[in-house]
Amino acid sequence: MRDRRNPGNTHIGFVERNPGYARAIESLKEELEAVDWYNQRVDACKDPTFSKELRDYLFTDKPLAHE
């Protein structure tokens, strides 16, 4: 299928044929925005001890739930 706006683009319609793809991209963008927001909060923190705690808590790969 050709894109009438860009004749060299033969991949037009991919998102239209795969609506889950567009939702996945939007979800990924939201997650990246959240990470950026958390980084801004850590950077804005003036207390070095609390800043370290925030960074450790927000950016850990360990389980957050208590067992």
Over residues 13-17, mean pLDDT: 71
Q: Mean per-residue pLDDT for 27-43? A: 89
CA angle 10, 29, 43 (to 5 degrees): 145
Residue 27 has pLDDT above 50, yes or no: yes
Percent of the chain with pLDDT over 90: 12
Structure-model confidence comparison of residues 31 and 2, the more confident one: 31
Indicate the pTM of the whole model.
0.54
Which position has the higher pLDDT, 14 or 67? 14
pLDDT at 1: 47
